[in-house]
Amino acid sequence: MNLKGRSFLTLKDFMPEEILYLLDLAAELKAKKKQGITGESLKGKNIALIFEKPSTRTRCAFTIGCIDEGAHPEYLGKDDIQLGHKESVEDTARVLGRMFDGIEFRGFKQETVEKLAKYSKVPVWNGLTDLYHPTQILADFLTIKEQFGYLKGIHLVFVGDGRNNMANSLMIGSAKLGLHFTILAPKELWPSKELCEQCEEYAKDSGAVITVTDDKNAVKGADVIYTDVWCSMGEEAKAAERIALLKPYQVNSKLMGMTEKEDTIFMHCLPAVKENEVTEEVFEKFADIVFDEAENRMHTIKAVMVATLGK
């Protein structure tokens, strides 16, 4: 599998076998790291890490991933560079592309990360935009594989803001890899029709069943109940409205019980607002899995960099 020179902007751009390859590579890099073995695949490379929005996991994952493989990471926060203020994205991209070998971008518009890739001409990795969070899906799927041993046929239910970056990206990833994916959300927060139609197309090849519903009985038989914050970064002003809409969709022990399965797991991309989208009780019961998922951000992000830029 050769992904050299490719950007990682959305899972839409990747074939199922390419996504599976990244998951296998991440598992291999994880096993090596556990034995104290790191690599030199990115030796001599300089990596720009642009953050318009804050981050704990993604920033740390890219930083450690770079250092473990011999690269130099350079953090560029929103007030550190001119991007989008005094300089166009196109110009900043062309400058960074002359100096850096790869660029991570976290921010608002998907259009920005796409422009960065187009104009820098180096691999660009999406560390989250308003629309997508593709590296998170790799960590989530690696975690599901570790828990269940397989991905195809897993029933994954996302509960909450069904039109946010996580819901969108989980739907794309599931449709591509054949996980049965359900969005459980009030109608006001359903994903776009366009994205649903696109995922239905992917699902024709993978056998995935995609469901969007506001009926909580849809959690019956779920292997994984997944949730995310009710207000994503940049949407803080909507807090009251979202709480009113989503309170009935809190992941609590009653909802977990409605799966009628003993081995259903809970997952969360983090950061979590406990007692909003998930109760402390459910969160703590599944904390080991949730923090495996957080750790897996590092192994999967490292795999993306090694696959697209490594020697």
Annotated active-site positions, please?
106, 133, 136, 228, 269, 297
SS3 225: strand
For residue 243, state whether it binds ligand CP (rule: CB under 6 A).
no
DSSP 134-186: HHHHHHHHHHHHHHHS--TT-EEEEES-TTSHHHHHHHHHHHHHT-EEEEE--
Least distance CB 262 / ligand CP (angstroms): 28
Span between the terminal Cα atoms of the chain, in Å: 13
Within 109-168, which residues bind ligand CP (CB under 6 A)? 128, 136
**Calpha distance 178→274 (Å, rounded):** 31
For residue 164, state whether it binds ligand NVA (rule: CB under 6 A).
yes
**Calpha distance 111→30 (Å, rounded):** 32
Whether the Cβ atoms of residue 155 and residue 180 lie closer than 8 Å to each other: yes
Least distance CB 15 / ligand CP (angstroms): 24
148 to 98, 116, 151, 223, 258: CA distances (angstroms):
44, 37, 8, 9, 20
In the shown chain, the binding pattern of residues 66 to 85 toward ligand NVA, with x for contact by CB under 6 A and - for none, equals --------------------
For residue 278, state whether it binds ligand CP (rule: CB under 6 A).
no
Whether the Cβ atoms of residue 156 and residue 182 lie closer than 8 Å to each other: yes
Residue 277 interacts, among ligand NVA, ligand CP, none and using kind-specific CB cut-offs from 5 to 8 Å, with none
Residue 56 interacts, among ligand NVA, ligand CP, none and using kind-specific CB cut-offs from 5 to 8 Å, with ligand CP
Whether the Cβ atoms of residue 162 and residue 194 lie closer than 8 Å to each other: no
Pick the closer one to ligand NVA by CB: 134 or 178. Answer: 134
Pairing status of strand 224-227 against strand 124-126:
unpaired
Residue 30 interacts, among ligand CP, ligand NVA, none and using kind-specific CB cut-offs from 5 to 8 Å, with none
Least distance CB 46 / ligand CP (angstroms): 21
Phi/psi-derived region of residue 103, left when phi > 0, alpha when psi is between -120 and 50, beta in every other case:
beta
Least distance CB 92 / ligand NVA (angstroms): 23
In the shown chain, the binding pattern of residues 54 to 83 toward ligand CP, with x for contact by CB under 6 A and - for none, equals -xxxx-------------------------
**Residue at shortest CB range from ligand NVA:** 232
For residue 113, state whether it binds ligand NVA (rule: CB under 6 A).
no
* Candidate residues 117, 212, 229, 269; the one interacting with ligand CP per rule CB under 6 A: 269
**Calpha distance 261→239 (Å, rounded):** 33
**Calpha distance 183→86 (Å, rounded):** 40
For residue 135, state whether it binds ligand NVA (rule: CB under 6 A).
no
CB within 8 Å of 39: residues ≥ 6 apart: 29, 32, 68, 69, 70, 306, 310
Residues that contact ligand CP, how many (by CB under 6 A): 9
Within 223-262, which residues bind ligand NVA (CB under 6 A)? 228-229, 232-233
Q: Please choose, from the candidates 215, 225, 293, the residue with its C-alpha nearest in 3D space to the C-alpha of residue 257.
A: 225
Least distance CB 133 / ligand CP (angstroms): 6
Pick the closer one to ligand NVA by CB: 119 or 283. Answer: 283
Least distance CB 54 / ligand CP (angstroms): 7
Binding site for ligand CP (CB under 6 A): 55-58, 128, 136, 269-271
